[in-house]
Amino acid sequence: MWADVQFLGELTHARVPGTLERCREVAGTPPHLIVDLTRVTMLDDSARDALIGLDHEFTTAGGDLRIVTGESPIGFELTEVGDIRVWDSVEGARGDQQHPE
């Protein structure tokens, strides 16, 4: 079963601790979480790196992290820099329909 969380506005280093805490809080065991970033207007390097680390953490724990970016350029940054899969919609992430390259 997938849990999901949505973030809004700017996701910067100042918000990283709370973001990670919220993700871990709702993810379950093993962690299966959909993170909706479609309403995030800016993702700085520390937030990007935190999401990359969270993806690794969840995978290591036998879970999965799916990040939804819609048409945002944030998706490109996560796939190119972090080698993370992104989805167009929460529904697509639930159904495993990956963002078209």
User: Any idea what the CATH number is for the domain that residue 68 is in?
Assistant: 3.30.750.24
If phi over 0 gives left and psi between -120 and 50 gives alpha, with beta otherwise, what is residue 69? alpha
Q: Which amino acid makes up residue 80?
A: E
The total number of structural domains that make up the chain: 1
- Nearest Cα to 89, choosing from 1, 26, 4? 4
CA distance 10 to 45: 12
Range of the domain at 58: 3-94
In a domain, 57, yes or no: yes
CA distance 6 to 19: 10
In a domain, 62, yes or no: yes
pLDDT at 97 over 80: no
In a domain, 28, yes or no: yes
Tokens of 25: 């809080």
The percent of residues in the chain predicted with pLDDT above 70, rounded, is 95
pLDDT digits (tens, 9 = 90+) for 35-71: 999 999 999 999 999 999 999 999 999 999 999 999 8
